[in-house]
Amino acid sequence: MSGMLDNGDTLTTGTGETLVVDRLLGQGGQGEVYRVTLPDGSAKALKWYYPESATPQQRRVVEDLVERDFDDERFLWPTAFVDAAPDRFGYLMDVRPDRFRGLPELFRRTVTTSFRELLTACLYTVEAYQALHSRGIAYRDISWGNIFFDPTTGDVLVCDNDNAVVEGDRSGISGTMGFMAPELVRGDPGAMPGTQSDLHSLSVLLFMFLVNHHPFKGARELAIRCLDEHAERRLYGKDPLFIFDPDDPDNRPDPVEHTTARVLWPLVPPSLQKLFTQNFTVGLREPSARVRESQWRDALRAARDAIVECPNCGRPNMTEPGAATPGTCWKDGAPLVLPPRLVVTTPPPRSERHIMLGRAARIHRHHLTAEPTRHDYSDGSLVAELVEHPQKPGRYGLANRSAEAWTGTRSDGTSQRIVPGQTVPLRAGLALELADGARAEVRAR
């Protein structure tokens, strides 16, 4: 191999642990990543910087990140500094589990996923960066190269966290051009990477999750003969134009070259389209107008709850939350039918969640809270789910998967107790008293 380290090389962490290099895993823009073994036999990943990236500034950033000891499973955070010489250093992190896949695989259609998982991944991505920002850390290099997702669950893993710095830190401006906020690409006086610029990068990333295309790559890019750094600065900094800008059609996606974007954009619910449009029009010029994480979170979770399965092929379709007409299936064009919905009202501060009761409907703990700290769609957070009667096919009920009993009140005023494990038949008008003051009501439409 031509990597900087050899298999079998030994290095020492800042805490005195000796690690042995197993093999080169990959090479990136700033350094190489090796699989290494620690004295206890556990495997870790070692990022080892190229000489040109092994600057005192980078050393300071990484040492600071290690000290922060940021314990969050959504991030492959630097856990130990590894030092060999002033210009030869790196850091340890966990090895990325195989279940996490990159966006290029999504674009190649080599992973199996659905809109439900993609919306989940978007929501988790938003919350992951929100967790960083709430700690005063700006990521500074949000891009599709740094985020991985589990196509079966939507879980996300943020990698390459070694450019994250405390908000306001002036450590070298970095980032991937196509994801950098325009003011940073242009190098505007006073513009610094921070939460505001992260919000732009985040929107680009979410757009690529859902539309599988870059929001500024339309007709204008096609007219560029060589997309070099100068051309990129124009496309992303000096003259960015959203491909679906409602007021300026000059950069529309090409009918031949950009078919994926043209087909997927109309499938995105209008409430999300509106946020993208805000971010990629007025938000380009006014950083303070960019969509905040909480706005993304609210719109994404509502869109996820509004997913409807096609009655013909069963594929999940995104629909506009609250819309009376769900449209047609993206796959086979069959008319979609709105199923009954469960309207959950959270304890104060009261807010409503509208969950489509399709075949795969599940209610999770975060549905019962107005401001959940995190959304979690895993089995472990399940509160209720739609199930079919085992002896009476076609009849459905809501199974209590929580640890607390519910009280159900039918439309005729009679009530019943639904203990954990029991199922209450689904009927319009059924009202449920759930845990901790949350209420729910089944509505036919």
- 264 vs 338, which CB is nearer to other proteins? 264
Q: How far is the CB of 406 from other proteins (least distance, A)?
A: 31
- 193 vs 397, which CB is nearer to other proteins? 193
- 175 vs 287, which CB is nearer to other proteins? 175
3-state secondary structure string across the chain: CCCCCCCCCEEEECCCCEEEEEEEEEECCCEEEEEEECCCCCEEEEEEECCCCCCHHHHHHHHHHHHHCCCCCCECCCCEEEEEECCEEEEEECCCCCCCEEHHHHHHCCCCCCHHHHHHHHHHHHHHHHHHHHCCEECCCCCCCCEEECCCCCCEEECCCCCCEECCCCCCCCCCHHHCCHHHHHCCCCCCCCHHHHHHHHHHHHHHHHHCCCCCCCHHHHCCCCCCHHHHHHHHHHCCCCCCCCCCHHHCCCCCCCHHHHHHHHHCCHHHHHHHHHHCCHHHHCHHHCCCHHHHHHHHHHHHHCCEECCCCCCEECCCCCCCCCCECCCCCCECCCCCEEEEECCCCCCEEEEECCCCCEEEHHHHCCCCCCCCCCHHHEEEEEEECCCCCCCEEEEECCCCCEEEECCCCCEEEECCCCEEECCCCCEEECHHHCEEEEECC
Instruction: Examine residue 223 and tell whether it contacts other proteins (CB under 8 A).
Output: no
Among the candidate windows 24-32, 64-72, 378-386, 410-418, which touches other proteins by CB under 8 A?
A: 24-32
Q: How far is the CB of 16 from other proteins (least distance, A)?
A: 27
Q: How far is the CB of 399 from other proteins (least distance, A)?
A: 22
Instruction: Examine residue 319 and tell whether it contacts other proteins (CB under 8 A).
Output: no
Q: How far is the CB of 233 from other proteins (least distance, A)?
A: 11
- 179 vs 280, which CB is nearer to other proteins? 179
> Binding to other proteins (CB under 8 A): which residues in 104-143?
104, 107-114, 143
Binding-site size, other proteins (CB under 8 A): 44
Among the candidate windows 2-10, 13-21, 128-136, 375-383, which touches other proteins by CB under 8 A?
A: 2-10
Phi-psi region of 367 (alpha: psi -120 to 50; beta: other; left: phi over 0): alpha
Among the candidate windows 45-53, 60-68, 71-79, 291-299, which touches other proteins by CB under 8 A?
A: 45-53
Q: How far is the CB of 344 from other proteins (least distance, A)?
A: 26
In this chain, which of 40, 69, 98, 229 binds other proteins, going by CB under 8 A? Answer: 229
Among the candidate windows 15-23, 44-52, 73-81, 406-414, which touches other proteins by CB under 8 A?
A: 44-52
Instruction: Examine residue 330 and tell whether it contacts other proteins (CB under 8 A).
Output: yes
In this chain, which of 86, 97, 314, 420 binds other proteins, going by CB under 8 A? Answer: 314
Dihedral sign, Cα of residue 441, residue 338, residue 153, residue 202: negative
> Binding to other proteins (CB under 8 A): which residues in 48-77?
50-53
Residue 22 CB coordination number (10 Å): 16
Residues 259-288, mask of contacts with other proteins (x by CB under 8 A) = xx--xx------------------------
Closest-CA residue to 361 (of 352, 353, 351): 353
- 78 vs 175, which CB is nearer to other proteins? 175
Among the candidate windows 89-97, 170-178, 334-342, 436-444, which touches other proteins by CB under 8 A?
A: 170-178
Q: How far is the CB of 4 from other proteins (least distance, A)?
A: 6
- 30 vs 381, which CB is nearer to other proteins? 30
Among the candidate windows 27-35, 191-199, 334-342, 402-410, which touches other proteins by CB under 8 A?
A: 27-35
Q: How far is the CB of 392 from other proteins (least distance, A)?
A: 26
Please state, in angstroms and rounded to a whole number, the distance separating the CA atoms of residues 78 and 62. Answer: 7
Q: Which residues bind other proteins (CB under 8 A)?
A: 1-4, 27-30, 50-53, 104, 107-114, 143, 145, 174, 176-178, 212, 222, 226-229, 256-257, 259-260, 263-264, 314-316, 330-331
